[in-house]
Amino acid sequence: MRILVVDDDRRLVGIVKRGLLEETYAVDVAYDGEEGEYLAEVNPYDLIVLDIMMPRKDGIEVCRELRARKVNTPILMLTAKDAVEDRVRGLDAGADDYLVKPFAFSELLARVRALLRREGMTKSPELKVGDLVLNTLTREVRRGQRAIELTTKEYVILEYFMRHPNMVLTRRMLEEHAWDYDFDSLSNLIDVYIRRLRRKIDAEGEKSMIQTVRGAGYRLRGL
């Protein structure tokens, strides 16, 4: 999952980014409204965390313009203003949720998870493809009765596969959702992680679930 955080408070952005990275999300940041709007238009984010009071363009305007351009990415709006009319303005501009500063990171994280679940049109924390099960709350993965230990990046890639079962995912799609804006697209990291996932997911005697689609990408096939 890839998240964009837009806020001119660099200290807060640093804290939020570190926390989200620890929770296995890929994170890009912007420090003013115009930069945030540009990144939101050119990259396929799963969620945008957007402050209201920012230089160059405020969050309300950014949100309104993104919605006018049919960018439907879920938006969690942040603000130091807690008046009802301010919350109403944000929601009317197209925001999906609202969080008043100062906030506990645990609450921000809970709202992020809720918005991502809503976008996936499911309230269950478990993703299932065949006999492969991934719990998005506990980060536990198992195939049948066998527990599978994954690194942070392996987990991120597998979750993306499981949210798009039987769909061909290109290398570019995997790169954009598992790494941030600074990822070196010329590296062979995607191939390395796919090999690692295959070794862990497919035990001896089990049917392979991650398929290579020659000239296109990879696909997680339900059994």
Per-domain residue ranges for the chain? Answer: 2-119, 126-220
Calpha distance 216→170 (Å, rounded): 6
pLDDT at 121 (0 to 100): 47
Calpha distance 175→217 (Å, rounded): 12
Calpha distance 60→88 (Å, rounded): 11
CATH number of 126-220: 1.10.10.10
| DSSP SS3 for 160 | helix
pLDDT digit string, tens, across residues 143-158: 989 999 998 889 988 9
Calpha distance 126→156 (Å, rounded): 14
pLDDT at 122 (0 to 100): 47
Q: Is the pLDDT of residue 210 over 60?
A: yes
Give the relative orientation of helices 84-92 and 59-68 as an angle to the nearest 10 degrees.
Answer: 30
Which of 201, 150, 159 is CA-nearest to residue 178? 159
CATH number of 2-119: 3.40.50.2300
| Cβ–Cβ < 8 Å for 76, 96 | yes
pTM for the model: 0.66
